[in-house]
Amino acid sequence: MDATDIQHRISELVEKEQALRDSSAADHPEDRLEQLKRVEEQLDQCWDLLRQRRARIDAGENPDDVSVRPVDEVEGYRQ
């Protein structure tokens, strides 16, 4: 996935996140919350992938050598 693909995927996920936040799924709030959690995790992974690519470019390395990190690893980063 190149940077353009990642940014496109981020845009899609942001739209999906907003739709989930705006939805009034009163019937199944647990399902909506679980979907929202998965979308947020995928977003974090995409942002991490984009940061990895940029770091490789800055270091003069091949940005295509990066890979998606597991959710547990990405979610465990300190802010």
The structural domains of the chain, with segments of one domain joined by +, span: 3-75
52 in Cβ contact with 74 (< 8 Å): no
Residues 6+ apart with CB under 8 A from 77: 48
CA 61 to chain centre: 23
Average pLDDT of span 66-70: 95
Task: Give me the residue label for tokens 């647990």.
Answer: 30
Q: Note the pTM of the prediction, 2 decimals.
A: 0.86
pLDDT digits (tens, 9 = 90+) for 14-49: 999 999 888 766 667 888 889 999 999 999 999 999
Confidence of residue 79 (pLDDT cuts 50, 70, 90): low
7 vs 1: CA distance, rounded Å: 10
